Chains A and B, each alone.
Chain A
Amino acid sequence: MNTIDHHWQRFTLRQKLSRYAVYLVLVLAFFQSIQSVEVIPEFLLDAPEQMGDMFSRMWPIDFAYYPVAVHDAMIETLNIATLGTLITLIFAIPLALMNASNIVNSAWCHWISRFFLVSSRSVNSLVWALLFVSIFGPGVIAGVLAIAFRSIGFVGKLLGEAIEEVNMGSIEALKATGASWMSILLKGYWPQVLPAFFSIVLFRWDINVRESAVLGLVGAGGIGVVLDDSMNLFQWDRVAMSLLAIFIIVILAEIVVVNIRKRLI
C-alpha cells in the first residue's frame, strides 16, 4: 500500500522568520525601557521599609473621624456618581441612536456622533474635573459634570453597539404593520436593547462611584477632598478611614449592581 506524504506547515518560512523578529524586538524593547526609566536602586530597596512605616502610622484607624467628615463626603460622592450617570443619559442616548448604522443611515451623522463619543472618552475624568473646576469653581457641580462628560463616550458607544445587535427581523415585521418610526423605536428596538441598556448604565455607575472618589483630589467634591486634606496634614489614621470607607462603598456598589442585573436579564 502506498501512502502519499502530504506536506503541511502552519507558517511559511518567511512568516516564521518575521514572527521571530517580532519576539526579538519585544525583548529588546523590554530592556530598553528598563534602562530609560532609571530606577534608583536605593529607593527600590527602601520601599518595604517605607510601606511598613506608612501602615504603622495608619493604624489604629481613626473611626471617630467617620461621623465628623467622612460620612457626608461619602454621600456626596455617591450623589456625584449617580447624578453624573443620569446626566450622561441625556447626551448618550441620542448619540447612540445617531451612531447605530441600523437606525440612522448617514455617514455624516455617524461622524458627528463618533466625534463627540471619542472626545468624551479620550479625556480622563480627572482632566474633565480640572476643566470644570476652573469654570465653575471647586465643588460638586464640577464633579458631577466631569463624571457625566467622561461617561457619555462609554455609554454612547456601548449602547450604540447594543442597538446594532438587535434582531432586525422583528424590526422588519413592525415596519410591515405600518408602524411609525417612533413606534418601531419604542416597541421594536427598546424591548430588545433594554437588558443591555441597564447593564451598561449600572456598570458605568459602578465605575463612576470609584472615579468620583478621587475627583476630590482636584477639588471637585466628595470623599476625595477629605482624603486630600488628611494626606496634606499627614493624618494617616484619617487617610486610612477614608480609604476603608471607599473600599466598603465600592464593594456595596458591586453587590447592588450584580443583584439588579441578575433580576433584569
Chain B
Amino acid sequence: MSVTHNIAEHSNFLEIRHLKKEYTAGNPILKGIDINITEPGIVAIIGPSGTGKSTLLRCINRLIDPTDGQILFDGADLCLAKGSQLRKLRRQVGMVFQEYNLVERLTVIENVLTGRLGYMSAWNAWRRNFSQADINTAFELLDAVGLTEHAKKRADSLSGGQRQRVGIARAVMQNPRILLADEPTSSLDPKTAVEIMELLERFSAEKNIPALVNIHDVKLASRFAKRMIGMSNGVVVYDGPPENITDDHLKQIYGGESWLV
C-alpha cells in the first residue's frame, strides 16, 4: 500500500479528492469526486449535460471555487491557493473552451501570445513586450496547428475550427503541465471535431502531459481516449479504459436506452 502511494506521488499529474461543489447550499452538483491522473494522454469525461463536467474542469483551475475537497497539483492544494500562488498554478493549467473564448478584436498571433500573460507583468503586456523566445514559440505553435498564414488576421475573421486551433495554441503556449478542454468539439462539424481531437492528442503526447476532455460524443471519446470517466448526477460511475465501457454503463451514465443504436 505504501509502495503504490509513493509511486503515485512521483508520477502524479493531478489528484482530485472528495471534490464537492454546491451552487446553492444543500444542492450539490459535484458530490464527492475522486480522480487520480497518473498518466499522460487524453482522459475523456463523458456524461449528460448538467451533470457537472464543466463545473469539475472549472474547479481544477479555480474559475469556480469548490465547496469542499482537495485538488493536488504540483505539490500544492489548488483549493487553498490564493492570489499570486493561484495565478502561478493556473498558468500551468492550459484550458480550451467550447466557445473558443478568444479576444476577438486581437490578431491571431496576439491571442496565442496571451497564453504567456501569466508569466509577464501587466506593463509588459500592455506594451506588447513579449520575449523573442515567446514570439518564436507562438509562431511555431501556429505552424503546428496549420494557421501560419492567418497569424496577422483578426481572430473574429476565422472559422470555428480555426478559432479552436488558436484556442489550443494559446493553451499550449502556457507550457502547461496539464490541459483541460471543456467540450472543445461541440460547436464544430464532425470532421473538424476529429481534427481538434487529433491536435489535443498530439500536444499531450509531445508535451507528455494529460489532457482532460469533457465530451458528450461517446464514439469520438473512445476513439482518442486512453481512459474514460463517466459521470452521472455529480458522481463518477465509470473510470477505466474505453474498451471496457458497456451499454449498461452508458445506460447508467445517460439514462434510457433508445439512443443506443
- A residues near B (Cβ < 8 Å) are 167, 169-170, 172-180, 182-188, 191-192, 194-195
Residue numbers in A under 8 Å from B93 (CB-CB): 176
Give the most central of B99, B102, B121, B122: most A CB within 10 Å. Answer: B122
Residue numbers in A under 8 Å from B103 (CB-CB): 170, 173-174, 187-188, 191-192
Contact B63 A175 (CB under 8 A): yes
Contact B87 A178 (CB under 8 A): yes
Give 3 closest A-B pairs by Cβ, nearest first: A178-B118, A178-B91, A182-B122
Interface residues in B, total, Cβ within 8 A: 34
Contact B102 A178 (CB under 8 A): no
* 0/1 string, B101-134, CB within 8 A of A gives 1: 1111110000000111111111001100000000
Given contacts A169-B97, A188-B103, 4 further A-B contacts (CB under 8 A): A172-B97, A175-B90, A177-B94, A187-B106
Contact B117 A177 (CB under 8 A): yes
Contact B115 A177 (CB under 8 A): yes
B176 to chain A: closest CB distance in Å? 9
B141 to chain A: closest CB distance in Å? 14
Complex alpha-carbon distance, A192 and B167, angstroms: 18
B53 proximal to A (CB < 8 A): no
B61 proximal to A (CB < 8 A): yes
Give the most central of B87, B89, B101: most A CB within 10 Å. Answer: B101
Contact B125 A186 (CB under 8 A): yes
Contact B90 A177 (CB under 8 A): yes
Residue numbers in B under 8 Å from A184 (CB-CB): 117
Complex alpha-carbon distance, A167 and B102, angstroms: 9
Chain B's closest residue to A180 (CB) is B122
Chain A's closest residue to B92 (CB) is A178
Residue numbers in B under 8 Å from A187 (CB-CB): 103, 106, 114, 117, 125-126
Residue numbers in B under 8 Å from A191 (CB-CB): 103, 105-106
B125 to chain A: closest CB distance in Å? 5
B95 proximal to A (CB < 8 A): yes
Q: What are 25 A-B pairs with beta-carbon distances under 8 A?
A: A169-B99, A169-B100, A169-B101, A173-B101, A173-B102, A175-B90, A176-B95, A177-B117, A178-B87, A178-B88, A178-B89, A178-B90, A178-B91, A178-B118, A178-B119, A179-B114, A180-B87, A180-B118, A180-B121, A180-B122, A187-B103, A191-B106, A192-B103, A194-B105, A195-B105
Contact A167 B105 (CB under 8 A): no
User: With A177-B170, A192-B105 in contact, is A186–B63 under 8 Å at CB?
Assistant: no
B174 proximal to A (CB < 8 A): yes
